[in-house]
Amino acid sequence: MKEIEQARVQLRARFDKLNDDDKRTILRAPELRDLFAMIGSIEPASKAQFGQNINKLKQDVAGWVDDYESAAESRQLKPIDITAPWDINTASDKRPASLPAAYGSQHPLTKEMQIISDIYLRMGFEVHQSREIDNEFNMFTSLNFPQDHPARDDYDTFVTKDGYIAPAHTSTMQHRIISGSRAKLEKGLPIAAIVPDRVFRNEDVDATHEHTFYQIEGIYVDKGANVGHLIATLKTYMSEYYGQELNVKIQPFYFPFTEPSFEFAIERPARLKKDDTEEQKWLELGGCGMIHPNVLKQAGVDPSIYTGFAWGFGIERMVMMKYSIEDIRHFMSGKLNFLRQF
């Protein structure tokens, strides 16, 4: 039976050399196969004993594997640190090199929206959230869009079968905010609110257009509010956000919910101008204007006593200009190379 003892020594040496994940392959080792193949040629008197000894060896080898695996399991039972970066609980030799080993971070838009909100909070504005699903009344009717008016086409977005809308602008919050805060006006306080949040559009996506993006809506209602206040408010905000005075340009435009209505643009700093054309000179951020009397009336505010102004700007555009980001699609791309820069 010395063949069996020799095989045991060889198997143990082979087993010790196997990698952790391959230990189980010892059960198919050639030494064991060869021993079983020898049974046929053993003389009858010793055959039974030989067979028993091989089976014993095979059981012992299976025991080595079981012992090894249960020891490995208890070695791994260390407490998991749930506050750690997500891959730190993986043993370092098992961590693929491509996994991020660093801490996560806030998305740049989340960070910027906090910075923007802080500026407006210091200017006395409340911060509200928008909705990701809203109805036709808030999105259009309360904002003085007549039924079937072509102006609705500019806000083409996603609609559910039962008529709910993924809002195409943060103006969808105007009615709620004005009607919800009108008691302030009676106390002699202004309504001053911003809504930085996500909006959706049926859009041809390119370097400056996304189907899902962020806007900031601003609303101010008080006795005597006028266009001068609107422009001063926006200019104050712009110089806080960019840390420098910027030239701004407003030009007449049309929105159903403001009268007069304007387009609002800021002058690009020299480093961001590709050439000297008017188009390169100005970056259009969005619209603004004096809140239409019908919008105030619908929200229960008397337009013969109070006036208001409002604006709605694209947040990505403001952030892109601040950091010289060339393509709006980076924000939602999930590209770590992009995100890690913030």
Residues engaged in binding ligand DAH (CB under 6 A): 169, 171, 217, 255, 258, 286-289, 310-312
Provide long-range contacts, Cβ within 8 A and 24+ apart, for 46-55. Answer: 46/1, 49/1, 50/1, 50/4, 53/1, 53/4, 54/4
DSSP letters spanning 53-70: HHHHHHHHHHHHHHHHHH
Nearer to ligand DAH, 125 or 255 (CB): 255
Q: How far is the CB of 126 from ligand DAH (least distance, A)?
A: 16
Handedness of CA 24, 25, 26, 28 (dihedral sign): positive
Nearer to ligand DAH, 269 or 303 (CB): 303
Only one residue has tokens 């030494």, namely: 31
Nearer to ligand DAH, 12 or 152 (CB): 152
Question: Could you tell me what percentage of the chain is helix, strand and coil, using 3-state DSSP and rounding each to the nearest 5?
Answer: 50, 20, 35
- Pick from 301, 308, 292: nearest CA to 226: 308
Q: How far is the CB of 91 from ligand DAH (least distance, A)?
A: 51
Residues whose CB is less than 8 angstroms from the CB of residue 273 and which lie 6 or more positions away in sequence, other chains included: 280, 281
Nearer to ligand DAH, 35 or 142 (CB): 142
Nearer to ligand DAH, 288 or 328 (CB): 288
Q: How far is the CB of 227 from ligand DAH (least distance, A)?
A: 12
Cα–Cα distance for residue pair 157/212, rounded to 1 Å? 10
Nearer to ligand DAH, 3 or 136 (CB): 136
Cα–Cα distance for residue pair 177/191, rounded to 1 Å? 8
Cα–Cα distance for residue pair 154/152, rounded to 1 Å? 5
Q: How far is the CB of 102 from ligand DAH (least distance, A)?
A: 37
Q: How far is the CB of 153 from ligand DAH (least distance, A)?
A: 12
Residue 67 backbone phi and psi in degrees, to 5:
-60, -45
Q: How far is the CB of 243 from ligand DAH (least distance, A)?
A: 25
